[in-house]
Amino acid sequence: MTDNKVDDGIGTSIRGFLGLISFSTILPLNIHTTIEEMASFTWVWPMIGAMIGLVVGCFGYATMDLLHLSPFIAAALIYSFSIWFTGFHHLDGLIDFGDGMMVHGTPEKKIDVMRDKRIGTGGIAYLLMAGLITFAAIGSAHAALIFYILIISEMAGKMGIVGCATVSKPFPNGTGKSFIVSMSKTRLVLSVVLTSAVGFLIFNTTGVIGVLTGMTAGFLVAIVARKNFVYATGDVLGTSNEVARMLAILVMVALTI
């Protein structure tokens, strides 16, 4: 009986981790799991970001360093590949967040608009701002360093989610609630230590700074969300990913110019 319980626990953990990979990418893993099982691995989400970054980094290295494409063309291809490979999931959150931010009124009204399926001017504006800045930052990176920058940037994006989830108040219902509830200060510290160590191994001090920039961006998004919505939703977490990745690339490019 005990062995069966252990095996079931291990199976649940594997399903949860693989489910989070499937949730974060377009990979057809066909994992049957629950949001709660996936959310238990929120604190190690940056490691899944590293896996995503490895794929995106290889694509970036091929387009910018091997094929020697124009920085503008390479940046457009890299950014497009990145948001495509992650299923446009977090980008959708950013658009909804932008719509909510444009609304005047109570936090409840703002959340209603944010959760509406229609896209407004605010969503388009936030998409353009984040997209253009990310595109310009990628295009400004040294071709020889693009592989490392892209890996760290995807880790930083997920670190943004971890940071945002830790300091946010969850909305009573929705996908984001489970991820926010799963986080604690202890898990945040563990995530920072693990992610910073991997960041240092990949890109030395610049990698660590990139990771910490992502976490800081997550805190900033959480502060803005609390002021405007009181609660955080899945859209807020998605926004933290996009903002964190954008700022991490900007900072790392600035440090390596």
In which element (H, E) is residue 118 found? none
| 146 contacts 71 by C-beta, under 8 angstroms | no
User: What digits encode the pLDDT tens for the residues 19-29?
Assistant: 999 999 999 88
Instruction: Say which residue the tokens 């945040």 belong to.
Output: 188
Spell 33-47 as b/e; 16+ CB within 10 A means b.
Answer: bebebbbbbbbbbbb
| 135 contacts 187 by C-beta, under 8 angstroms | no
How far apart are the C-alpha atoms of 241 and 181, rounded to whole Å?
18
- Quote the pTM value: 0.93
183-197 mean pLDDT? 97
- pLDDT higher than threshold 80 for residue 8: no
Q: What pLDDT is stored for residue 9 in this prediction?
A: 46
User: What digits encode the pLDDT tens for the residues 158-186?
Assistant: 999 999 999 999 999 888 999 999 999 99
| 204 contacts 144 by C-beta, under 8 angstroms | no
Model confidence at 5, in pLDDT bands (50, 70, 90)? very low
Q: What pLDDT is stored for residue 11 in this prediction?
A: 56
User: What digits encode the pLDDT tens for the residues 67-124?
Assistant: 999 999 999 999 999 999 999 989 999 999 999 999 999 999 999 999 888 899 999 9
Name the residue ranges covered by the structural domains of the chain. Answer: 1-40, 45-256
